[in-house]
Amino acid sequence: MGIDVRNVNKAFGSTPVLRDVSVDVTAGSLTALLGPSGGGKSTLLRVIAGLEKPDTGTVVISGVDATRLAPQRRNVGFVFQHYAAFKHMTVFDNVAFGLQVRKRSKSEIRARVGELLELVHLEAFATRYPAQLSGGQRQRMALARALAVEPQVLLLDEPFGALDAQVRKELRAWLRRLHDEVHVTTVFVTHDQEEAIEVADNIVVLADGEVRQAGTPAEVYDQPVNPFVMRFLGPVTNIGDRLVRPHDLELSRDAEPGSSAAEVTRVLRLGFEVRVEMRLDNHDAWAQITRRAADRLSLRPGDTVYVRPNAEARTLAADAA
């Protein structure tokens, strides 16, 4: 079942933000919408939630056409970047809100909210107000609030964007564990490719309102279908007119089939890896090699080295759009 977005177009005024976007989200999966700011990923998420209406196209959630449904009828949980905590309510009342709206019994609400607060490790904060919580705690409260109504789909808009790096890392790992526990179909928006690769089962790369590639983290990282995706997902360098990942380069002292000569300009030792910068024909390139390989080559600035992508490396023509 999951979510099926078909041919969605959306423009704000005369500016198109989504262009013929189609995305399949497998039921029970954790999917990342990844892309640069202004790429349309938040808008797509809001279209799925019903907070924005698509100009054309359809949104099917769990087999039901939800395109024209109001947000409160879609049974989705939405977590906002800035938490959207109900400031005048305690943590308990925030989490209980959806259940109260659904007119559940008091005892049921108390049990369910207690369960959720335990899940997000906020049992001790039930009577506090959002203003008395840290950013990470507020976001966990927002997550519990969204999960309380047992949504078919959980949508998170840059859920960790407003948090500092350390808390973000912790919450990331925690979100993955949480998803493995509750198995609700989850879509989250991020512009951090590391976050997407670490947390998601599937990644949809969006830029300029278009889907550039969709697949597992390994697919989009190792087999990017265009230079944009390749550049966005990880480090790249140019060898001639080919784009290649720097850790997919082989260096050697002797010319080998398919290798090009380069002049070493700088050798940087970064802990376990070594970064070799070089001049190739008339452009700069760099390679990332292991310390052992670097020691064996014992490269110095000014040395000539022969460089070629290794046998498994994926390369792309740099100028293809």
Partner 1 sequence: MTKHILRSAALLYLLMLLVLPLAFIAYRTFEAGLGTFWASLTSPSALHAFRVTIIVAFWAVLLNTIFGVATALLLVRHTFIGKRGLNALIDLPLAVSPVVVGLALILVYGRFTPVGGWLDAVGIQIIFSIPGMVLATVFVSLPLVVRSVVPVLEELGDEQEQAARTLGAGRSATFRRITLPGIRAALGYGIVLCLARALGEYGAVAVVSGRLVDQTQTITLFVEERFQNFDQPAAFAASTALGLLAVATLLITKLIAPKVRSS
**Interface with partner 1 by CB under 8 A: which residues?**
49-51, 70-72, 74-78, 80, 82, 84-88, 97-98, 101-102, 129, 131-132, 142, 145-146, 148-149
Whether residue 205 contacts residue 211, with contact meaning beta carbons closer than 8 Å, is answered with yes
Nearer to partner 1 by Cβ, of 161 and 234: the residue is 161
- From the CB of 93, what's the least distance to partner 1, in Å? 10
- From the CB of 4, what's the least distance to partner 1, in Å? 19
- From the CB of 161, what's the least distance to partner 1, in Å? 14
- From the CB of 85, what's the least distance to partner 1, in Å? 8
Nearer to partner 1 by Cβ, of 189 and 262: the residue is 189
Nearer to partner 1 by Cβ, of 44 and 76: the residue is 76
- From the CB of 59, what's the least distance to partner 1, in Å? 14
- From the CB of 178, what's the least distance to partner 1, in Å? 19
Nearer to partner 1 by Cβ, of 1 and 89: the residue is 89
Nearer to partner 1 by Cβ, of 1 and 84: the residue is 84
- From the CB of 138, what's the least distance to partner 1, in Å? 12
d(CA 39, CA 44): 10
3-state secondary structure the chain: CCEEEEEEEEEECCEEEEEEEEEEECCCCEEEEECCCCCCHHHHHHHHHCCCCCCEEEEEECCEECCCCCHHHCCEEEECCCCCCCCCCCHHHHHHHHHHHCCCCHHHHHHHHHHHHHHCCCHHHCCCCHHHCCHHHHHHHHHHHHHHCCCCEEEEECCCCCCCHHHHHHHHHHHHHHHHHHCCEEEEEECCHHHHHHHCCEEEEEECCEEEEEECHHHHHHCCCCHHHHHHHCCCEEECCEEECHHHEEEECCCCCCCEEEEEEEEEEECCEEEEEEEECCEEEEEEEEHHHHHHHCCCCCCEEEEEECCCCCCEECCCC
Nearer to partner 1 by Cβ, of 112 and 145: the residue is 145
Nearer to partner 1 by Cβ, of 47 and 197: the residue is 47
